[in-house]
Amino acid sequence: MAELGPSETWGLNLREALAALGRRKWPCFVATLLTLGIGLGLALFLPPVYRSEATILIEEPDVPPDLVTSTVAGYADERLQVITQRVMTSIRLSDVIERFGLYPEERDTKPMGVLVDRLRSAFAFNMINAEVGDRRERGGISAAIAFAISFDHSDPLVAQQVANELVTLYLAENLRARREQAAQTTQFLTGEESRLQERLTGLERQLAAFKQEHTGSLPEQMVGNLQATTRTEQSLLDVRRQIRGIQERKVYLQSQIAQLSPNLSPVDAQLTGTESERRLALLKADFARLSGVYAPAHPDLRRLVREIEGLEREAGVTPDRRVLEQETETTRAELAEVSERLAAGHPEVVRLTAQLAGLEQTLAEIPVSNTPGPTANPAYVQIATQLSAAEIEITALRQQESTLQAKIRNLEELVLRGPEVERTYLDLQRNYQNVVASYQDVVAKRRAAELGEALESESKSETLSLLEPPTLPDVPIKPPRLILAIASICLSLAAGASIVWLLEALDPTIRGARQVFQMVGEMPLVTIPAIQTRADIWRGRTRAAAWLISGCLLLTGSAVWVQKYVTPLDVMWAAIQQRMVTLINSSS
């Protein structure tokens, strides 16, 4: 076996390649030309696309955020994405299509959804970021400082107009969204505030009711209770002491009265008679005087009457009825006379009226029978009187004692109930305090939210401002004609080569002595060329002629067809010329 170099082994023999090319020249030619034609056609005739771009700046708030925090939270880029979504809705975009008359030819044939999608895809959004330091809590990451939006269209003017419209939509939507969020925050907090207020009121009422219900056992009253208990106990001791005192006196008086007899002997009665008469006379005089001043029910008068009656009984003297009657008549006459002269409220009138009343009362009290009873012992009477007075006092004091005891019991009960009441009371209070705290918190937040809302409504917070208005493009961004042309040339060559390679690779037949070598192990002894007979030559020529004629016919036929059914050829030629001129002008 002969030694083979790399070209034989690897099959990249140039000669063989050229032979292959020669074999496949027609497919190669067609492929190359077709690709080139399409590529150049695209490069020349693809409609231009213009892009209008606008830049919007994300401005810092006018009021520093430490002073007034905006209620619109979140990163700028996230919010912008949301705004993009809101602006790019089908409704808004279809409105834009209507207003600017975009895609006029396809409006009838294609559904709006498809056109809206196309519009959406013609739009581009780019964030412009910058590295920020530690000014905000985000630290050293990049934050958005601006963004660019652009719109592509075949007409530069339309592109600019639509871009402008989109910018307007963006700015408006941003403002609206911010304000709405701020307003909603405030609204929510206000609602919370009133709810908490209501709760507070309820709790207060509850607390008050509780206090009322358990008054006396309340914790703050405990000290008072204890003090009152102490005081009451003191009073009780006092009263008891008094009682004891009086009881001792009673004992003494009782011992005294035991020695006396209730009545006097006549001798003793007489001895004391003059004295008692004198006394009686004095008393009567007092009575007469006082009854002019005091009402008959007055205690002093009553005392006098009692004393007088006592003495009269002692003395055995019954007042002279006739004397009294005379006095009564006299007083009555005086009164009548005075009443005529003077008014009813005159002191003289009053005195006489009282006096008369007293006399009449005494008269009424005089028993008709004047039988003098046994003479009472004044000493005995005196002590007896004192005794009964002491009795009365004791009774009164006892009453006081029981009152005080009841009071002490009451207080003790109140103190007993104290701990449980305290527990419930503290609970209520704590609850109340918590609600108070929440309430205050919400109030503070609401105030902050209101400030934030004000910030938004005056556009002092973070705003979007137009940095660069939409440009009017004069150079199309697409298609890159030169690149397309070059690419189509390369591609056409590649297509040609690929076709050749493909056909060769798919060829199952033997090609070239080298393949024979590969199969058999030896190069063929000879390679005989195709022997051309005259007939073969003739046949070849005939075939070539046939191809040529049919090619010409095809060309003529297609030209006629284009002329008739597409556009007249001269018009097409003019259009091509025009296009070339435009291209040359635009590229220069």
Partner 1 sequence: MPMEQLEKAIARARQNGAFRRIQKTEAPEKEPVTNEHAEPVSELRTNRASGLKTNVTPARLSHLKKMRVVAAEDERPEADIYRVLRTRLLHKLTRQGFHSLAVSSPARGDGKTMTAVNLAVSLSRELSHTVLLVDADLRRPSVHQHFGIKPKLGLGDYLLSKTELTSCLVNPGIERLVLLPGRGRVGSSSELLKSDRMTSLASELRERYADRIVIYDLPPMLASDDAIGLLPQVESVLLVVREGKTRRSEIQRSLELLKEKNILGTVLNEGENTTVDYLYY
Under rule CB under 8 A, residue 509 binds partner 1: yes
| Residue selected from 8, 17, 23, 428 as contacting partner 1 according to rule CB under 8 A | 23
Q: Of 223 and 531, which CB lies nearer to partner 1 in the complex structure?
A: 531
Under rule CB under 8 A, residue 522 binds partner 1: yes
Distance of alpha carbon 513 from alpha carbon 2, whole angstroms: 13
Segment near partner 1 (CB under 8 A), from 130-138, 155-163, 272-280, 507-515? 507-515
| Residue selected from 67, 364, 526, 584 as contacting partner 1 according to rule CB under 8 A | 526
For 143, which DSSP code? E
Which residues lie closer than 8 Å to 148 by C-beta, 6 or more apart? Answer: 53, 54, 55, 56, 125, 126, 128
Binding mask 170-199 for partner 1 (x = CB under 8 A): ------------------------------
Segment near partner 1 (CB under 8 A), from 18-26, 57-65, 130-138, 158-166? 18-26
Which residues lie closer than 8 Å to 38 by C-beta, 6 or more apart? Answer: 488
Under rule CB under 8 A, residue 15 binds partner 1: yes
Which residues lie closer than 8 Å to 263 by C-beta, 6 or more apart? Answer: 374, 375, 376, 377, 380
Which residue(s) pair with 56 in the sheet?
147, 466
Under rule CB under 8 A, residue 505 binds partner 1: no
Under rule CB under 8 A, residue 16 binds partner 1: yes
Q: Taking CA 293 as the corner, what is the angle to CA 291 and CA 296, rounded to the nearest 5 degrees?
A: 40
* Beta carbons of 178 and 456 less than 8 angstroms apart: yes
Which residues lie closer than 8 Å to 36 by C-beta, 6 or more apart? Answer: 488, 489, 492
Under rule CB under 8 A, residue 531 binds partner 1: yes
Distance of alpha carbon 581 from alpha carbon 420, whole angstroms: 104
Under rule CB under 8 A, residue 17 binds partner 1: no
- CB of residue 30 vs partner 1: minimum separation in angstroms? 20
Under rule CB under 8 A, residue 529 binds partner 1: yes
Which residues lie closer than 8 Å to 310 by C-beta, 6 or more apart? Answer: 376, 381
- CB of residue 513 vs partner 1: minimum separation in angstroms? 6
Q: Encoding tokens for residue 105?
A: 């030819």
Segment near partner 1 (CB under 8 A), from 83-91, 225-233, 472-480, 525-533? 525-533
What is the layout of strands, in order, in the sheet containing 50-59?
123-131, 142-153, 50-59, 463-468
Amino acid at 32: T
Segment near partner 1 (CB under 8 A), from 25-33, 213-221, 375-383, 503-511? 503-511
CA nearest neighbour of 263 among 386, 383, 374: 374
| Residue selected from 533, 585, 587, 588 as contacting partner 1 according to rule CB under 8 A | 533
Distance of alpha carbon 92 from alpha carbon 79, whole angstroms: 19
- CB of residue 524 vs partner 1: minimum separation in angstroms? 4
Binding mask 93-122 for partner 1 (x = CB under 8 A): ------------------------------
Distance of alpha carbon 203 from alpha carbon 438, whole angstroms: 14
Under rule CB under 8 A, residue 1 binds partner 1: no
Site size for partner 1 (CB under 8 A): 27
Which residues lie closer than 8 Å to 426 by C-beta, 6 or more apart? Answer: 219
- CB of residue 505 vs partner 1: minimum separation in angstroms? 12
Under rule CB under 8 A, residue 19 binds partner 1: yes
Under rule CB under 8 A, residue 62 binds partner 1: no
| Residue selected from 105, 530, 564, 570 as contacting partner 1 according to rule CB under 8 A | 530
Distance of alpha carbon 459 from alpha carbon 186, whole angstroms: 17
Under rule CB under 8 A, residue 511 binds partner 1: yes
Q: Encoding tokens for residue 373?
A: 């009873």
- CB of residue 537 vs partner 1: minimum separation in angstroms? 12
> Most distant CA pair in the chain: distance in Å?
211
Under rule CB under 8 A, residue 524 binds partner 1: yes
Contact residues for partner 1, defined by CB under 8 A: 15-16, 19, 22-23, 508-513, 515-516, 519-520, 522, 524-531, 533-535
